[in-house]
Amino acid sequence: VLKNDSLCVEHIGSTSVMGLGAKPILDIMAGVQHLAEVDMFIEPLKSIGYEFVPHKEFPERRFFRKGQWRAGTHHLHIYRFGSEQWKDQLSFRDYLRSHPDVRKQYQQLKMSLAEKHPADIVGYTKAKAPFILNVMESAKGG
């Protein structure tokens, strides 16, 4: 559907890190030259079951979900290729892949937060944010 308009496609999210527990959702990241191009993907992606979900709090990302809310199977995150947000996603994934101790800490945090927020995905996600930001900072050498 994205054809030649996407410059690169990457597997991200917890399912992209061997040994890390994950919800059964496949996170895919596509990089495009310009985010304005994404509007032309909305209908073709809809035809194969993806729904465009605007997020005002993430203006540098276009997000599509396949499947029902909280029961979906795929998330498609589209960023400008090479942008800071693009690089952050890859840095986080690659850092977890290459640092088993940090991966284990993240796994333990996720399990703890899943127990604490069993029906609150927003709370769960917000509670993970400080850890994720610290990992991204470490990945940048900070």
In the chain, what percentage of residues exceed pLDDT 90? 76
60 versus 71: which is more confidently predicted? 60
Separation between Cα atoms, residue 81 and residue 40, nearest integer Å: 17
Full set of structural domains in the chain with CATH: 3-139 (3.30.460.10)
Mean pLDDT of 11-32: 94
pLDDT reading at 91 higher than 80: yes
**Residue 7 pLDDT more than 90?**
no
124 has which bridge partners? none
pLDDT of residue 23: 85
Does residue 6 carry a pLDDT above 70?
Answer: no
Query: Do 99 and 56 form a contact (C-beta atoms < 8 A)?
Result: no
**What is the distance in angstroms between the CA of the first residue and the CA of the last residue of the chain?**
38
Residue 29, both tokens = 């990241």
Across the chain, what does the average pLDDT equal? 92
